[in-house]
Structure 1
Amino acid sequence: MSDSLPAPNTSHLRAIEALYSGHHGWLYATLKRKLGNAMDAADLAQDTFTRILASQVTVIDQPRAYLTCVAKGILVNWYQRKALERAYLEALASVPAHEVPSPQAHFIVLETLHEIDAMLDALPPLVKRAFLLSQLHGLQYQAIAEQLGVSLITIKRYMKQAFMQCLMRVE
C-alpha cells in the first residue's frame, strides 16, 4: 500500500488549476513582500497550493481570502521552524569545535527537533506543559500537579497522553 495522496478528482484538479493560474502570482508577490526573500516566497507559495491540493476542496468562494488563510498557517509553521533552527544554531555556537556535529548529523538533529516540535504542538496545552515540566525540568508528577493546580491522577493521564503521542510518532 502506498503512502501517497489519494488521486484528486477532475473537478478538484480544475478548481486548483484555476486557483493557481489566477492567484499564484498574487500570493507569491504577497509572500515575497512579507519575507523579503524570493526563494522562501516561492517555496511557501508552492507549499500553500500543495496543501490545498491535498485538502480536496473543490469550491472556493473567496480565493484570496482562502489562500491568505492557508498561507498564514504555513507561514506560522515556517517561522516556528526558523526559530527552532536559530535556537539550535545558537546552542551549537557554544559547543567546542571538535564536538560540532557533521553536516549530516546537523540535518538529522534539525529534522528530529522539527518532529518533536510538531508532536508537542499536537498536544493540548496543559498536557504539553506537564510533559515539558517532567522531561525538561525533571519535576516529579506531584510537583507538576501542584504547579498546574490539578490532581495527581490528572497529571498521570496527561503524561500517558503525551507518551502515547510520542509512541505514535515513532511507529
Structure 2
Amino acid sequence: MHTPPPSLRQTADLLYRDHHQWLRGWLSHKVGCTHQGADLAQDTFVRVLGSHELGRLDEPRAFLMTLAQRVLYSFWRRRNLENAWLEALAQQPENYAPSAEDYALVRDAIETLDRLLGDLPLRARKAFLMNRLEDMTHVEIARSLGVSLATIERDIKLAFTHCYLASLDAIPNGITEAPSSTRP
C-alpha cells in the first residue's frame, strides 16, 4: 500500500521538532544571546511556514540555515540602523530625550525601511541610505564607495523605484486613484 506524502503542516511540525533546538543554539551563538537566538529561531520558522520549498526538502538543515542566515542579516541590518540612530541621538543636547512613543515610531520606521530595502543589492541600499539619511550628494557617495557617478545614480534610481513599487503593493485592491473632490 502506498503511503501519501506528509502534508506541509506535518513537514513543518517535523522540521520544528527535529531541528529547532539545534537552530536556536546556532543562532544564539551567532548573536551572543540565548533570548535573541530564540527569537531569531522563531522568525526563521515563520519563514519556513511561508516557504514554497517546504514540500520538497532534501537537506532540511541546509534549508533552515539559508532561511536563518537571511533572518540574521535582517537582524544585523536593523541593529546597525538602530545603533546609527542612537549615535545621532547621543549628539543631541543633553536635555533632549525622545519619548517612548517617538522611540517606537523610529524603530517601526527602521524596520519598514529595512523591509523595503532588504531585497536591493548592498551597494544600492548603501547609496540610497547615504543620500537620504546622511544627506550626501551623488558625487560624495560615488567617491566614498569608489564607483562612478553614473553607477550611483543608477543605484539610487533603482532604490527609489523599488520603494515606489513597494508602496503600490501596499495600496488596497480597488483603489486606483485619489478620491475626487466633493465640491459643487
Structure 1 length normalisation: TM-score?
Answer: 0.73
1:163 equivalent to 2:160? Answer: yes
Partner of residue 16, structure 2? 20
Q: Percent identity?
A: 34
Question: Per residue, is there more helix in 1 or in 2?
Answer: 1
CA contact (8 A) 1:24 1:45 kept: yes
CA RMSD across the alignment: 3.0
Match for residue 97 of structure 1 among 90, 94, 97: 94
Structure 2 length normalisation: TM-score?
Answer: 0.69
Partners of 1:68 and 1:23 lie apart in 2 by 10
Q: Please give the per-residue CA displacement for 1:12-71, whole angstroms capped at 9, x wherever unaligned.
A: 101101111111111112222333322111111111111011114212111112111211
CA contact (8 A) 2:74 2:118 kept: no
SS of aligned partner of 2:102: helix
What pairs up with 1:1-171 in 2 under 5 angstroms?
Answer: 11-56=7-52, 57-124=54-121, 127-128=124-125, 131-132=128-129, 134-135=131-132, 136-139=134-137, 143=139, 148-149=147-148, 155=153, 160-170=157-167, 171=170
- Structure 1: any 5+ residue segments left out of the alignment? 1-9
CA contact (8 A) 2:117 2:125 kept: yes
Structure 1 pair 123–33 and aligned structure 2 pair: CA distance change class (3 A): closer
SS of aligned partner of 2:7: helix
Structure 1 pair 40–159 and aligned structure 2 pair: CA distance change class (3 A): closer
CA contact (8 A) 1:128 1:162 kept: yes
